[in-house]
Amino acid sequence: MNAELQFLTALQGLHTPARDAVMLFFTRLGNAGFVWIALAAILLLFRRTRRAGCILALALVCDLVLCNFILKPLVHRVRPCDLLPEVPLLIPHPSDYSFPSGHTAASFTAVAALWLAGKKRLAGTTLVLGVFIAFSRLYLCVHFPTDILGGAVLGIVLGAAASAIANYVANHKEKQRIV
């Protein structure tokens, strides 16, 4: 058994009804990027936070396309729960592939986008939430640790890319206004 499967098997020793409930709560927050989409929508409502909301929304769209429509089908990695059938699943079996973790990618996309948009305190809060969401995917045995790492790296890159795009557009608009 490889190191990742050994790690996930060892994590199964942490299960208690209370921990299961907590991990189910966090993983459900990350389902379909709901919490991050809701946060982007709220930020878009207020003038003071609209730029951050735009960056976050753009980053999440990029994440959806790259993670779910390109990388997962391309890498085609089976989930650890398929290799460890003795581990009872506490959630419905995910229908897509394992790499990268979409929950983690969306979470770290939000962290990076908010940090680079200047919302550092909010980014700190989203980091804590994102780490719990990512860990819940390991705890529930639906992702390998490298799926989580790949999702985190992808999310940071996409948050940075969305910020760079927003800065480019803002600078271009400013130059157009001056001319």
**What is the Cα–Cα distance from 174 to 169, expressed in whole angstroms?**
9
The predicted structure's pLDDT at residue 106: 97
> Max Cα separation, the chain?
67
Q: Which residues of the chain carry a pLDDT beneath 50? A: none
pLDDT of residue 170: 81
Cα dihedral 122/125/129/130 (nearest 10): 60
Query: 107-141: buried (b, 16+ CB within 10 Å) or exposed (e) per residue?
Result: bbbbbbbbbbbebeebbeebbebbbbbbbbbbbbb
Whole-number pLDDT of residue 175: 67
pLDDT at 91: 95
Which residues are tagged catalytic? 103, 143
Residue type for 140, please?
L
